[in-house]
Amino acid sequence: MIRSRKQIVLPVTSSGIAALLLPNGRTAHSRFNIPLKLSEDKLCNIKPGTMLAELIEKTDLIIWDEAPMTHKHAFEALDKTLRDIISKKKPSTKEQTFG
């Protein structure tokens, strides 16, 4: 339904096997450049103004399959990165919740 409305959906998974089963699926680490060595202060390697940052800005929905298998620091890194990218264009979204 979402794609039929020309909205952008990014399907990601926690494992490579599951990514093979989704149309246009990729692992979350691959799609969002999540660091392999995670800690509380890590960010994803997505620079504002890049093609990936622009794709994320235009994305209407992220579907993360097998999310419970992912370490919380991966979500925190993505959350901080998304806030950073989006707040550059829309400062009022700095406090918008991911999830």
Give every strand in the sheet of 8-13, ordered side by side.
Answer: 26-27, 8-13, 59-65
Q: List, in order, residues 6 or more apart from 63 with CB less than 8 Å away.
A: 9, 10, 11, 12
User: What is residue 97's predicted lDDT score, i.e. its pLDDT?
Assistant: 57
Residue 61 has pLDDT above 80, yes or no: yes
User: What is residue 99's predicted lDDT score, i.e. its pLDDT?
Assistant: 57
Confirm if 34 and 77 have CB atoms less than 8 A apart: yes
